């Protein structure tokens, strides 16, 4: 398999922690971090024109089968958080790494990853390798 002539894509978004995401201490509930990662993941998928609508058009869904997050410091109401999503693996599944940092100081708040697998929409069966459309979108010869 030939590697891309460029680095695998990344994307960054800045999320401001809203009131409705925090507890009575003003700290973001841990479950909302998955949402912040999803926002960055959507931005990442857009960088190579394979967002969720494009996936569906291509005949595949890519459900998340694994989510792991490590919390170093809490995010607080009104804080601006930079969420970086980086594609790390694409041959068998999509593995995307996330880094959440304070947008001003750069201090790490959390890090983690998701794994998404290709599923044929017609047969509803999981594939044991990424379909050709993904390689095409990434500009890679399989």
- Give domain status of residue 5, yes or no: no
pLDDT for the residue 1: 47
Q: Mean pLDDT per segment of 10 residues, for the chain of length 142 residues?
A: 70 98 96 98 98 97 97 97 98 97 98 98 96 95 78
- Give domain status of residue 2, yes or no: no
* Owning domain of residue 104: 10-138
- Give domain status of residue 3, yes or no: no
- Give domain status of residue 46, yes or no: yes
- Give domain status of residue 123, yes or no: yes
Question: Under DSSP, is residue 69 helix (H, G, I), strand (E, B) or coil?
Answer: strand
| CATH code (residue 111) | 3.10.129.10
Domain count for the chain: 1
Q: Are 117 and 134 in contact (CB under 8 A)?
A: no
pLDDT for the residue 40: 98
pLDDT for the residue 142: 72
- Give domain status of residue 110, yes or no: yes
């Amino acid at each position: 398999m030939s590697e891309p002539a460029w680095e695998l894509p990344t994307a960054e978004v800045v999320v401001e922690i809203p009131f409705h995401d925090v507890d009575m201490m003003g700290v973001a509930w841990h479950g909302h971090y998955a949402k912040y990662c999803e926002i960055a993941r959507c931005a990442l998928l857009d960088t190579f024109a394979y967002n969720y609508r494009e996936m569906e058009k291509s005949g595949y869904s890519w459900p998340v089968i694994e989510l792991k997050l490590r919390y170093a410091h809490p995010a607080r109401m009104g804080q601006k958080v930079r969420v970086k999503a980086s594609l790390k693996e694409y041959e068998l599944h999509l593995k995307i790494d996330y880094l959440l940092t304070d947008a001003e100081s750069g201090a790490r708040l959390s890090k983690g990853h998701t794994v998404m697998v290709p599923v044929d929409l017609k047969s509803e069966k999981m594939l044991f390798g990424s379909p050709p459309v993904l390689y095409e979108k990434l500009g890679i010869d399989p």
